[in-house]
Structures are given as C-alpha cells and as structure tokens.
Amino acid sequence: MSLRDRKRARTRQALVAAAADLFERHGYERTTIADIAAAAEIGTRTFFSYFPTKEDLLFPETDARLRAAEEAIDGRKPDDRPADVLLTALKIVGEDSDDLSSRYAALRLYLVRRVPAVRGRALQIQAEVSREIARHLAAAFPDELDEVTAAAMVGAFTGAVTGALQVLLEDLDALPAPDVVQAAVERATAVALRPWSHPDSH
C-alpha cells in the first residue's frame, strides 16, 4: 500500500473505532456523524469520502467479504464444487479479519435488531452482495448452477452465517472467543450447504 492508502486505511479504522465507542456509550440515534468525525479528528465533510451514511459505519467489511468470495471462486481447484468455494470464502474472511466475531459484530447485530435504519441497510447490503456472489458462482459453474439455483445456494449460506451469529453474539457481555465463533459459523454453513456438497461429505 502507498503512504496515502495507509493513511486512508488508518482514518477509516479510526472512524469505525470512534463509532463503536460512541454507539455503545451514547446510543446509535443520539450519536451524530459530526460526533464521530470529531472523535476521529477529521472534518464532517471529510467523513463522506469514507462512508456514505452513518449506517455504513456498521458494515466496514462489505467489500472485503465480496472480494473474498470472488477470490475463492476464481481460485477454485478443478474438483471443487460450489459449496466448497463458499466455505473457502468464509475461511478467508475469518483469517483476514474479526468482522464476524468481534464485539463490533455483536454491536452491529444488537443495532440491527433495534434500529430500523440499520436493519434496512443490513438487508440491502446482504441482498446486493448475495446477488453479486450468486452471479459469479453461476458463471463459474455453468454445468451445475443457473442464476436461480446459485441464488438459492448463496441465500442458504448467508442465512446460516446470519442465524449462527445471532445466537453466538446475542449477549454483548458474554461473547465467545473468536475461534469459537468461527468454528460454529463454519459448522452452520456446512449444514446449510450439505445438499450441494460432495457426496462423501454427507
């Protein structure tokens, strides 16, 4: 990364950290974009060159998750099936970041349950990312999937991840260790994708 890119990455992370602190201490609705920008030591106008909305602060790894899925699909082995590459993508996400297992992930789910604007943004992001992954998956496995069946598979996958995290991260004051979360999510997705897995994996 260039110096400029590293500086942008640090500022972006500072915004996420400031938002996490302020959302927990003051609540989501009472925290403004100006508050978050000030805590991260940038101007309010500059904030919008990093995140388009306050809601998007809660989903900082969206692009990384999509890249992980595309990387797993493009780097698939000759004998990999569609389910294999989705499970590989999940491992990549777990290894590259704690976005699925951190306290911030638990805070995100807490706010999704309680704040309509956050819930709406979460559903929109999930739908958009799932659609892109399904398109990529169908193109990579034209003999096994069309866009409808690819969408069904990705829907089962994302539903399993979301469902597992809702259980695992329900209590902000008693969060399991990240490796426990990752292992449980991998088990949940393996169950959800069983119909598309290798016959000898049943």
pLDDT 10s digits, 47-97: 999 999 999 999 999 998 899 999 999 999 999 999 999 999 999 888 888
Handedness of CA 162, 166, 168, 174 (dihedral sign): positive
Residues 145-188 pLDDT 10s: 999 999 999 999 999 999 999 999 999 899 999 999 999 999 99
Q: What's 176's DSSP letter?
A: P
Distance CA 83, CA 190 (A): 8
Distance CA 94, CA 117 (A): 27
Average confidence score pLDDT of the chain? 93
- Assigned CATH topology for domain 59-201: Tetracycline Repressor; domain 2 (1.10.357)
CATH architecture of 3-53: Orthogonal Bundle (1.10)
pLDDT of the residue at 94? 85
Cα–Cα distances (Å) from 20 to 35, 49, 182, 196, in that order, read: 12, 19, 21, 38
Domain boundaries along the sequence of the chain: 3-53, 59-201
